[in-house]
Amino acid sequence: VVIVNGDQEYKAKVVGADPLSDIAVLQLETKDKFTPVAFGDSDKARIGDWVIAIGNPFGLGGTVTSGIISARNRSIGLSRYEGYIQTDASINKGNSGGPLFDLDGNVIGVNSAIISPSGGSIGLGFAIPSNLASNIIEQLRSTGEIKRAWLGVRIQDVTQEIADVEKLDEPRGALVASVAENSPSEKGGIKAGDIILEFNGVKINQMKELPAIVAKTKVGKKVKVKVWRNQKEITKSVLLGRLE
């Protein structure tokens, strides 16, 4: 059930859902006309920009709060594919799924989570960026499911100590802890202990960047993966599978 303006109720069906990004698409079962809001470009959002959150906290429909962007691409360990916009606009229980607007009235985020010892807003709110959300939404609308590429590696951060031992110039990339059997990585010659420095032409500065970049790549694509092994850079060719 979807409630509009605090009093109008509409039945809705779930077109598709993606638990890994915490996004779902609902379709209202009505002939009524609605004016949709527009997605903006979340990559253009800057730290310090003003934002406005609208939602239904504690059942108080149509509640508006404002704040600024504190950070982009924040990871808080909530889902596999993270890159949250952090804001101090008050977000409380019931705000999830609501829009985060820029001052031009474009949606640059979908309010998703808070960090709070008390359960109430303490100025640490997080929104799924619109560029990630709109991509997921388009796939769910057209096919009802999400197709993500699969590399088949377990990875961890490259610390200063690891960089020193491996004679890498600085801590960067993603250290391969293990490679799944019969995975695209195993077939492409990637081994445990390798440090992935570049994937499909994109440099990997931090480990957390790799899953998101892989997920955005087309299933079945052959990609070049640059790895650091035995104190030198080598390139492997990997045919990406599909994440089940």
What is the per-residue pLDDT for 216? Answer: 82
Instruction: Give the global pTM.
Output: 0.77
pLDDT at 94: 83
pLDDT of residue 82: 74
Among the listed residues 117, 127, 130, 58, the one whose alpha carbon sits nearest the alpha carbon of residue 88: 127
Strands (E), the chain: 2-4, 8-10, 12-18, 23-28, 50-55, 63-74, 84-87, 99-101, 107-114, 125-129, 149-150, 153-157, 174-179, 195-199, 202-203, 222-229, 232-239, 241-242
How confident is the model at residue 121, as a pLDDT? 75
Chunked in runs of 10, what are the mean pLDDT values of the chain (244 residues)?
Answer: 85 93 93 93 95 88 91 78 86 88 96 80 88 91 89 94 94 95 95 96 91 88 95 95 88
CA atoms of 107 and 98, how far apart (whole Å): 10
